[in-house]
Structure 1
Amino acid sequence: MSIEVIRTAALAGVAHGFLTRAGGVSDGPYASLNCGIGSHDDPAKVAENRRRATEAVAPGARLAGLYQVHGADAVAVLDGVDPAIRPHADALVSNRPGIALGILTADCAPVLFADVAAGVVGAAHAGWKGALAGVTDTTLLTMETLGADRDRIVAAVGPCIAQVSYEVDEAFRAQFEAQDAEADRFFRDAKAGHAMFDLAGYVAHRLARAGVRTVEILGADTYADETRFFSYRRATHRAEGDAGRQISIIGLTGND
């Protein structure tokens, strides 16, 4: 099976892609394009998968990654990329051609950003904790330090767990409502004491509130679509112990 790269209209003209689990060399529960360095998969297979993913999106680029911690920190990648060095953060930005920014997810929302005129791109890992803490806001601020203009920045929210699959309790809901008076519209009542949460919608809301005029939501459900996506929550519900990770990549080529 060949690699599947999902691209968006919002980021047309920029080397980018939200990849699925297809087209890699891993097997078993990690079949096949598992790019998760922290998984229990064979490290050599993960490295090959990451190489294939990068070549599918930004041929010849060097892939920069993170040790993701579900926070709101963003880092700028300006120099040479050492795959062994992964800053503890949840977003990357760059204005250097030849560098690809990679974010890993398995239900959390990957968000890719670009200001084409300024030649600045970004990638963020927005799980519920990071989204609430403002990881998209810090990504925008860090892009601006490299010359991006918020009025020009566009963003795309990639495959993540959909509202129909994301049941949470009232304590979870209360954290959002305490911080944001508009957050209630991203919850739909479910069984007693529970609700269904729209992560992608909330992330898009935070982007729009921050001044991003163009935000595209892909709408693919990582939990429900087992054929195409890894899902940490699905693996947990099945007591599988571990899950693969798909990667989302954006970068600047010499033509951008």
Structure 2
Amino acid sequence: MIVPDWPAPARVKAYSTTREGGVGAGDYASLNLADHVGDAPERVARNRAILREHLQLPSEPLWLRQVHGCRLAGEDAALSSDACKRGGCEADGAVTSEAGVVCVVMTADCLPVLMCDDRGTRVAAVHAGWRGLASGILERAVTAICASSALRASERPLAERIPSERILVWLGPAIGPDAFEVGPEVRERFLEADPESIDAFRASNNGRFLADLAGLARRRLARLGVTAVHGGGYCTHSNPRRFFSYRRDGVTGRMASLIWLAGDGAAAAGDT
């Protein structure tokens, strides 16, 4: 497990898995947590059980059906593990203010982004590949945390609006800037929204570019006033022993990045 190095409140629990410590074999060795990549279902189920037991999770993680889109589960209705079990939530992130609800995203090169506010009242997990970044998934997550749209199980919005300056972010393992090659159309899409993001691209071969996924995320967050951004130093592509990488291997497993609130949210909201 990777424990994020960030100054999150004590009640915010966050982890990112590696590929080590599970029961998988071959391309999926060994802690593959995804049930949609061709691995044996019984091995995925065992790996998820290992994860629950090792972290002593308060509930089953909210496994999403990620589609490289811009939808967040929990934006306009309280999150429910039962709802996700009934066929899965199609979303690329989740946000909650409810204690014990485990938000999770799975990645194998895309950037996992974990967020919380500095008082530990709201958390979010986001799956940010280049398509999600370009579509505004981070902006949507920041808005959901800041605004009163993050709902409790009672479906009553929180009264307090949180300034973006009070949001903390951790960037998990993702493909690094020396390995993530993209076409010119990807570069142009980012430059249209932010011409200064040109610094996140370097010329590669045959008119293509190397893109800094974590750097693009930091730029977008900074434009929202979110500057307490940590992590971003793990490259999935360059470390086959520790990380799954879709770009490197094609057929492969997925890691998970998880975040949840421990204890009573109402009590923590009054802390200083």
Q: Is TM more than 0.5 here?
A: yes
Deviation at 1:163, TM superposition (A): 0.6
* Residues 1-256 of structure 1 mapped to structure 2, 5 A cutoff: 4-11=1-8, 13=10, 14-57=12-55, 59-76=57-74, 78-82=78-82, 83-117=85-119, 119-143=121-145, 144=147, 145-146=149-150, 147=158, 149=162, 150-236=164-250, 242-254=251-263
**Cα distance change of structure 1 residues 253 and 28 upon mapping to structure 2, 3 Å threshold:** same
Report the residue type matching 2:214 in the other structure. A
SS at match of 1:5: coil
Runs of at least 5 residues in structure 2 that lack an aligned partner in the other structure: 151-157
Distance (Å, rounded) in 2 between the aligned partners of 1:180 and 1:174: 10
Q: Give the conservation status (yes or no) of the 8 Å contact 1:35–1:50.
A: yes
CA distance in 2, matches of 1:93, 1:58: 21
Question: In structure 2, the residue corresponding to 1:177 is in which secondary structure?
Answer: helix
Out of 30-39 and 51-60, give the one that drifted further.
51-60
Q: CA 1:61 to 1:8, structure 2 compared with 1: closer, same or farther past 3 Å? A: farther
Q: Runs of 5+ in structure 1 lacking a partner?
A: 237-241
Contact 1:15 1:57 in 2 (8 A): no
Q: How far apart are residue 56 of structure 1 and its match?
A: 3.5
Q: CA RMSD in A?
A: 1.8
When normalised by structure 2's length, the TM-score is 0.85
Partner of 1:239: none
How far apart, in 1, do the equivalents of 2:200 and 2:65 lie? 28
Identity %: 34
C-alpha change, 1:56 and 1:5, in structure 2 (3 Å) is farther
Q: Which moved more, 1:8-17 or 1:198-207?
A: 8-17
1:39/1:120 Cα in 2 relative to 1: closer, same or farther (>3 Å)?
A: same
Deviant stretches of 4+, over 4 Å: none
What CA distance in whole angstroms lies between the structure 2 residues aligned with 1:48 and 1:94?
Answer: 27
Q: CA deviation at 1:46?
A: 1.0
Residues 175-209 of structure 1 show CA distances to partners (whole Å, capped at 9, x for unaligned) of 21122211211001222402110001101111111
Aligned length in residues: 248
- Residue 10 of structure 1, CA deviation: 3.7
Aligned 8 A contact 2:93 2:104 in 1: no
1:165 aligned counterpart, secondary structure? coil
Asked whether the equivalents of residues 10 and 156 of structure 1 are also in contact (C-alpha less than 8 Å), the reply is: no
Q: Using a 3 Å threshold, how does the CA distance of structure 1 residues 189 and 125 change in structure 2: closer, same or farther?
A: same
In the alignment, what sits opposite 2:155? none
Aligned CA distance change for structure 1 residues 232 and 79 (closer, same or farther; 3 Å): closer
